[in-house]
Structure 1
């Protein structure tokens, strides 16, 4: 709280706390009030050219904030509604002097002046966006590094699987070849044994033997007894 010429003023921080807004928002409100009313000296200034806020200033800004929220109006419309009388008063001398000044001078005075205070919220927002973009870029680089590592591991796994499949195929082929080599001698041995086995008597030989046995004369009992024919 500052006392200037017997009147008490609040600093921007104190006024912002009382209005329950940030100092950046208060600067934006104050700059737009000065621009809308056409009075750059609407707020009292300290020796450092910083704004000071009277009790009436704070009440007017609180009304602006209330209209903006409750009636869903833009900040400029809310300020125009609250500071309507000040806007009218500031417009009267401007209209009377416009007839006496050259057209070029009038056009120059009508050009809106952008104060650094009104740009503060925009610059703050741009700063936040820049920081967020930098953070996003960093995250993208980290993700790219992780993807590259995952791709490398995937390729290594594919090569390992290919080597294992090739080894399995070679082992299977070698096993089949060994089995074939073992079966071939066994088959040859069985064939040789079969060729050396005695051949059974033919049917004609058996028939002749049977005929001889049948046609041989039988010996009589006495021949057998005396050993004579």
Structure 2
């Protein structure tokens, strides 16, 4: 509890515990109350410009929370219903309402708009969203490149298979042709040898026949006197 000008106020933590809500929820309620009523100085402030909550503030916020839960209304509608009179008075006589606050609090209070505090968060969220979109785009591009690479690889494998098959067929054809040439050459050689052997046989026979013819021997007297 804090005492300001003789009046007791609860800190945000104490007020949140009393209302059985989180400090973040209390901060959101308080910011929307100030925005709806058009008074940024609706709550008392401490020397660090933090909100302080009076007993009446606690009662009003508890009623807002109850209406919101039991009647399924939005927070803004519940605040408008609870603070209707304050809103009307603020619109008609804002200066007179502000005069009822303690002088020290009025001089130390500075206007705050809850939307301003959300601006950095919204900006950060936008940056994260943009970065996420860029990452998704990059992933899609990488997927397309990978698909193209796989497609090219399959074509390359098929081309290699076709080339290997062609080479095998060519090798078999070359082997068959070589075998045919060798067989033909062997046959020609055999024929030539056979033909060459026949004249030699005839010659041998002729020589044999010639050698078989005997020349009559001359008599001693013929040879002596050289008479036939």
TM-score, length of structure 1 as denominator length: 0.57
The alignment status of 1:163 with 2:160, answered yes or no, reads yes
Aligned counterpart, 2:121: 124
Contact 2:60–2:82 under 8 Å retained in 1: yes
Matches within 5 A, 1:19-30: 19-23=20-24, 25-30=25-30
The alignment status of 1:138 with 2:135, answered yes or no, reads yes
Cα gap change, 1:63 to 1:118, in 2 (>3 Å): farther
Q: Which runs of 5+ in 2 are unaligned?
A: 95-110, 192-228
The alignment status of 1:152 with 2:149, answered yes or no, reads yes
Q: Which runs of 5+ in 1 are unaligned?
A: 95-113, 194-229
Q: Take 1:121 and 1:13, find their aligned partners in 2: how far apart are those partners?
A: 21
Shift of 1:43: 0.5
Matches within 5 A, 1:13-52: 13-16=13-16, 18-23=19-24, 25-52=25-52
Cα gap change, 1:56 to 1:121, in 2 (>3 Å): farther
Q: Take 2:172 and 2:23, find their aligned partners in 1: how far apart are those partners?
A: 83
Shift of 1:45: 1.0
Shift of 1:65: 2.9
Aligned counterpart, 1:54: 54
Matches within 5 A, 1:101-112: none
Q: RMSD of the TM alignment (CA)? A: 3.7
Shift of 1:33: 1.5
Matches within 5 A, 1:52-91: 52-91=52-91
Aligned length: 173
TM-score, length of structure 2 as denominator length: 0.57
